[in-house]
Amino acid sequence: MYGIVDCNSFYASCERAFRPNLIGKPIVVLSNNDGCVIARSKEAKPYVKMGAVAFKSKDDFRKHGVYVFSSNYALYGDMSSRVMTIISKYVDDIEPYSIDEAFFKLENVSAQEAELIGKQIQKEVMQQLGLPVSVGIAASKALAKLANNIVKTYPEQTKNVYVIGTEEKRLKALKWTPIYDVWGIGRKLSKKLQDMNVEKAYDFTLLSDELVRSKFSIVGLRLKHDLEGKPTIGFEEVHDKYMIATTRSFPNVISDLKEIEERVATFANSCAEKLRKQKSECAGAYVFLRSNRFGKEHIKLGGMVHFGFATSSSITITKGVLEKLREIFKEGHTYKKAGVILVSITPNSSHQIRLFGDENPKHQLLMDTMDRLNDKMGQGKLKLANQDIKKTWKMRQEHLSPQYTTKFSDIITVNCK
DNA sequence: TCTGGGGTCCTAGGACCC
DNA sequence: TCTGGGGTCCTAGGACCC
């Protein structure tokens, strides 16, 4: 059987785990730059829409006593890995799917046993981390997702765990689930399906394989089979990232190339650090620049750099990216967002040596040293000279909570009487 | 003043190879 | 009169997910 564990309102729950006085209170967590709402506790859902723009919602927050947090990824990332560790103890295989979700596999268990395991996971995560989770279990990943939706809708009746263990339950679940709630059916596809009179997940499974294949490609067909209870969407082994990106919006628009270069150099450097962390190299990078998508101007520029060999050197990557940036840059426009995306990523253990034009081996030593120093002394202590040195770009984070679990100075003190 | 960021997978078409 | 077949790699774009 396949299962999925999904943390409820994960970011909001992480904040609450260290602030018990917020139990039962509405909480929202904002995106980078405190831009918009990306997580809401159950209590906040009636008052705040997902994606609500923070500066426009201030009055609403005040009116309903909503507690507001900036996103604290050091905290969420650490809590996430603790959740994953607990799940691993109970299951035969685990596939972390996102920061707050993981699929798992159970071999040779009955529906009753599976439910018991689900309950144990739920209980231990709550006890050890104070995080509420929903568990869905079924014969395939898509059905497990469906079961999870049922839990989210009926937390009391299901007691946070639901198993689709019989054919009868499978059909009931399919007939209950609107097509737009099916995992893998987004806005575009649900519109298309509704035009074909497919309202429920069940209706989708009634279409012929040929029709689904022709209209929704192999992806749609796999989903259909998964919903029929024939597990088709595979269990993915954890692998290194195929793509690594650092992209940011600027607080204000920028039109000066020099300023953009500084920012982009920092993005490239941050990508290179992530790349080295996963022990990979890349052979290319994409750099892009674009205007404010809410403004009058609509300009999107971008270009691909090929390094000619696989590298993880910040120097090589930044240099290539900046050259490409200068090439694509157009004077006389205002830009709001830029980013760097590394592609053609391969493990550094299989580095292909080039007869001509490989990288200077000294880069590797220098990067190792930089990484070690930055690890020890704090991120960004050592930078490349083309990064933003004098002017520091700070993310707007007016409601940031402490790094309770990853920083010695932020560990909370508990008084035991 | 202010509107997020980071990923995956698939398809179609072009260029090329034998 | 007729004009093969099978394949790879790359890129851009679209759809989706959290």
Which residues bind near strand C, taking a CB cut-off of 7 Å?
A 97-101, 145, 183-190, 284, 304, 306
Q: Are A400 and A69 in contact (CB under 8 A)?
A: yes
Residue A408 domain-assigned (yes or no) = no
Q: Where is the domain boundary, A74, A103, A131?
A: A74
Q: Are A117 and A90 in contact (CB under 8 A)?
A: yes
Rounded, the Å distance between the CA of A32 and C1' of C11 is 31
Q: In what order do the strands lie in the sheet with A67-70?
A: A37-40, A27-30, A67-70
What is the Cα–Cα distance from A331 to A325, expressed in whole angstroms? 12
> Residue A363: what pLDDT?
93
Residue-wise burial string across A357-376, b where 16 or more C-beta atoms lie within 10 A, e elsewhere: eebeeeeeeebeebbeeeee
| The total number of structural domains that make up chain A | 3
Rounded, the Å distance between the CA of A283 and C1' of B8 is 20
Residues 6+ apart with CB under 8 A from A403: A72, A74, A75, A410
Angle in degrees, CA A143, A145, A149, rounded to 5? 115
Q: Which two tokens stand for residue A40?
A: 């809401």
Q: Quick one: A143 and A199 in the same domain?
A: yes
Q: Quick one: A222 and A92 in the same domain?
A: yes
Residue A252, phi then psi, degrees to nearest 5: -130, 170
Residue A200 domain-assigned (yes or no) = yes
Q: Quick one: A219 and A112 in the same domain?
A: yes
Residue A256's identity, in one-letter code, is: D
Q: Quick one: A114 and A56 in the same domain?
A: no
- Token look-up 């040195």 returns A389
Rounded, the Å distance between the CA of A217 and C1' of C4 is 28
**What Cα–Cα distance (Å) separates residue A409 from each residue in A284, A385, A403, A404, A413?**
39, 30, 9, 9, 10
Residue nearest to nucleotide C10 (CA to C1'): A344
Rounded, the Å distance between the CA of A282 and C1' of C8 is 21
Nucleotide nearest to A306 (CA to C1'): C10
Q: Quick one: A115 and A212 in the same domain?
A: yes
> Residue A391: what pLDDT?
66
Residue A395 domain-assigned (yes or no) = no
Nucleotide nearest to A191 (CA to C1'): C15
Rounded, the Å distance between the CA of A217 and C1' of C2 is 36
Rounded, the Å distance between the CA of A231 and C1' of C4 is 40
> Residue A348: what pLDDT?
86
3-class DSSP state of A100 = coil
Residues 6+ apart with CB under 8 A from A345: A240, A241, A242, A243, A244, A275, A280, A281, A282
Residues 6+ apart with CB under 8 A from A390: none
What is the Cα–Cα distance from A253 to A243, expressed in whole angstroms? 27
> Residue A396: what pLDDT?
87
3-class DSSP state of A354 = coil
Q: What is the CATH number of the domain that holds A283?
A: 3.30.1490.100
Nucleotide nearest to A302 (CA to C1'): C12
**Across A312-404, where does the E strand assignment appear?**
335-347
Residue A275 domain-assigned (yes or no) = yes
Give the DSSP letter of residue A279: T
The series of mean pLDDT values per 10 residues for chain A, 417 residues long, is 97 96 96 93 94 93 96 95 97 95 96 98 97 97 97 96 98 97 94 95 96 91 95 86 91 90 93 93 90 82 86 93 90 90 87 76 94 89 83 83 92 88
Question: pTM for the complete prediction?
Answer: 0.92
Query: What's the distance, Cα to Cα, between the start and end of chain A in Å?
Result: 47
Q: Quick one: A209 and A119 in the same domain?
A: yes
Q: Quick one: A64 and A161 in the same domain?
A: no
> Residue A34: what pLDDT?
92
Q: Quick one: A14 and A96 in the same domain?
A: no
Q: Are A285 and A342 in contact (CB under 8 A)?
A: yes
Residue A393 domain-assigned (yes or no) = no
Listed as ranges, the nucleotides of chain C within 7 A of a protein C-beta are 11-12, 14-18
Residue A288 domain-assigned (yes or no) = yes
Which residues bind near strand B, taking a CB cut-off of 7 Å?
A 31-33, 35-36, 38, 51, 53-55, 98, 217-219, 236, 241-249, 251-252, 274, 294, 337, 339
Rounded, the Å distance between the CA of A247 and C1' of B4 is 10
Number of neighbouring beta carbons within 10 Å of residue A294: 7
Rounded, the Å distance between the CA of A98 and C1' of C17 is 9
**What Cα–Cα distance (Å) separates residue A58 from each residue in A23, A47, A68, A157, A251?**
22, 12, 10, 36, 19
Q: Are A255 and A334 in contact (CB under 8 A)?
A: yes
Q: Quick one: A108 and A211 in the same domain?
A: yes
Residue A387 domain-assigned (yes or no) = no
Nucleotide nearest to A10 (CA to C1'): C18
> Residue A234: what pLDDT?
87
Q: What is the CATH number of the domain that holds A101?
A: 3.30.70.270
What is the Cα–Cα distance from A368 to A187, expressed in whole angstroms? 45
Rounded, the Å distance between the CA of A233 and C1' of C16 is 14
Q: Where is the domain boundary, A227, A252, A283?
A: A227
Q: Quick one: A210 and A303 in the same domain?
A: no
Selection from A276, A366, A359 nearest residue A320 by Cα: A359
Q: Quick one: A33 and A108 in the same domain?
A: no
Q: Quick one: A367 and A278 in the same domain?
A: yes
The residue segments making up the domain with residue A117 are: 82-227
Q: Where is the domain boundary, A227, A261, A276?
A: A227
Q: What is the CATH number of the domain that holds A45?
A: 3.40.1170.60
